[in-house]
Structure 1
Amino acid sequence: MSTPANIGYLYAGILLAAGFVFVIVAMVLANLLAPHNRTREKLQTYESGETPIGSAWVQYPLGFYIFALLFVAFDVDIVFIIAWAIIFKQLSLFGFFEILFFIIVLALGLVYAWRKGVTRWI
């Protein structure tokens, strides 16, 4: 007795639907069972046990966000380079030039960000 080739999609669909149902049920139960009495202490901003000074809605310079995105982009790229390094012996000369091109594109992106002033912290 053989199974159809698309049975994996059925299992994936069932798991996806079960995941959605679990999340929705958990959110509804948490909303129904959680206490909803608001006090001054609960509405106050929490800063590591210290009394907050000023408002929590501080506007940060845009450069901080761009710097963080640049860090995340290069951090993810390191994952690709590590994966490439693990299978380096299996690759031919084409694989070497492929990663070389990848690193050159990364370097050009870093030079572009540097020239735009993104890497300056303040």
Structure 2
Amino acid sequence: MSLQILAVDDSKTMRDMLSFTLGQAGYSVTEAVDGEDALGKSQSGRFDLVITDVNMPRMDGLTLIKNLRQKPNFRSTPILVLTTEADGAKKTEGREAGATGWIVKPFNPEKLLQVVQKVCPS
């Protein structure tokens, strides 16, 4: 069974790129348009990994991470932040929220897959 990944980004282009890259590697991807959408999808689905943007309408990625970490089935789920934010203070805020890793956009598909394999060894 392939890894179930929740990809959260308000940019359709970015969700498409993530879905294509991860799908080509054999992963199953569910897309969410923002943190609220992702929280709703987290209720009904089991995910092995969450990849989220930071800056999104309705609910940003850091708030999403904090909310997911309060759920028993997401306490140890790896959560990667994929964002244009490269600021050290923002990365620290992400770690404090519960992020497992931080990737700066634009992403290199090969490096993304390496990070996914590192945080979700099969």
- Structure with the larger helix share: 1
Give the structure-2-normalised TM-score. Answer: 0.19
Give the structure-1-normalised TM-score. Answer: 0.19
